[in-house]
Amino acid sequence: MAVGLGNPGSEYAGTRHNAGADVVALLAARHGEKLKRGKERSLVAEARVDGKRLALAFPQTYMNDSGLAVRALVRRFDIDDLARLVIVHDELDLEPGRLQVKMGGGLAGHNGLKSIVAHLKSDEFARIRIGVGKPPRKEVGADHVLTRPGKKVREELAIVVQEAADAVEAILSEGIAPAMNRYNRLS
């Protein structure tokens, strides 16, 4: 299952914070599916990728409460091994256009990840970190991720969203270690 983090509503569309949600929407479209409202406080779709089922979700709980939706999704899709869960999210510590695939690890102050770890009581899930860069000035990180980037960064993010969708498919077909080897070299 791949969960793309972001905030619901048109006012957040196109912001740095919704990079994860953009990846899930792209994956659904790529495989001829539409994200539809589910009982788990999420937009959900199921796709077939190389004969394997891939559940896709975009929580509608706002970023800081992502764990509420993710816990319900893990139950619905009977994810007993959290290594089968991929969380796709924006990352301030990576430059715009950079991508990193990892298993487990720290939270780097990301409130969506904090919520997920609190609700799952584990950090042992896969992550695809999409670089959005640090604020250029002393701007608060929240203000930075909740604004729409300029043209250059928008173009970089459009490319990395495609790469992140490819990385989700690689994790599904090959596993986390080969995906890390392939995509982390590019960062």
Which residue range is the domain that position 136 belongs to? 2-184
**83 CB-side CA count, 13 A:** 5
pLDDT along the chain (187 residues), means of 10: 97 95 98 95 96 96 96 97 97 93 90 97 97 78 81 94 98 96 78
Give the total number of structural domains in the chain.
1
Helix %, strand %, coil % for the chain, to 5? 45, 20, 35
Minimal CA–CA distance to 99: which of 135, 142, 130? 130
Q: One of 17, 89, 110, 144 is an active-site residue; which one? A: 17
Minimal CA–CA distance to 57: which of 125, 4, 128? 4
Q: Residue 60 sits in a domain of what CATH number?
A: 3.40.50.1470
pLDDT at 187: 47
Q: Identify whether 89 is a catalytic site residue.
A: no
- Listed in sequence order, the residues at least 6 apart from 22 whose beta carbon sits closer than 8 Å to its beta carbon are 4, 6, 157, 161
